[in-house]
Amino acid sequence: MDQAAVLTDVQTLRKRARQHLDEGAVTSGYSADRETVLKQLNDSLATELVCVLRYRRHHFMAKGIHSQGVAAEFLAHSNEEQGHADQLAERIVQLGGEPDFSPNGLAARSHAEYVAGVTLIDMIREDLVAERIAIDSYRGFIQYLGDKDPTTRRMLESILAVEEQHANELADLLQDASGLAAKTRAALA
């Protein structure tokens, strides 16, 4: 059957819609490897959860003369990462999977690492590294999906845009903090 016939054959669409109702939104037209997509979504979920926890720690541990604004940025990023985790979990369920929120092995499933950081600059740097990992991870996942799962792809593209924004903000903070640290060292010398 040619593509135009699939679009206009209402009887076939109605018949297919009645099959496999237990699969919810996943119809016979879903062409991605669902098990691979679910695994990648759960790995992305783990990455977001690790980022939530790292950002929260950094929010509370930020110290220094200009830490208040940076701490607020850490909290805002943490909240946005939690929103990403929620989106990913919802999509996992839509695809018939189960979101893995288990703390056992969370760090192993995550693409990003949980690095505490000692100084404010260390914290910003580690968060920037994690954002860059997430950016490349989401880009690869998006490329893998191509046109096989447009709903998941669009969701990932939306998350990717926020991760890129986070990376830009952190790069600016790192530059500002590094410049301030250099001025402080010079003034004390």
Give per-residue pLDDT as tens, 90-134: 999 999 999 999 999 999 999 999 999 999 999 999 999 999 999
CA dihedral 113, 118, 121, 124 (to 10 degrees): 30
Is position 6 within any domain?
Answer: no
Query: What mean pLDDT is predicted for residues 142-149?
Result: 96
Distance CA 83, CA 57 (A): 17
Is position 20 within any domain?
Answer: no
Is position 139 within any domain?
Answer: yes
Is position 23 within any domain?
Answer: no
Question: 91, 155 in Cβ contact below 8 A?
Answer: yes
Length reported for the chain: 189
What does the buried/exposed string (b/e) look like for 89-116 if buried means 16 or more CB atoms within 10 Å of the residue's CB?
bebbeebebebbeeeeebeebbbbeebe
Res 15: pLDDT: 75
Is position 37 within any domain?
Answer: yes
* Tally of CB atoms within 10 A around 155: 18
Range of the domain at 40: 31-188
Looking at residue 1, the DSSP 8-state letter turns out to be: -
Is position 137 within any domain?
Answer: yes
What is the CATH classification number for the domain harbouring 160?
1.20.1260.10
Res 1: pLDDT: 46
Closest CA to 83 of 120, 115, 48: 48
**Could you give the number of structural domains in the chain?**
1
Closest CA to 128 of 139, 138, 113: 113
Is position 2 within any domain?
Answer: no
Give per-residue pLDDT as tens, 1-44: 455 554 557 777 677 777 776 666 776 778 899 999 999 999 99
Is position 12 within any domain?
Answer: no
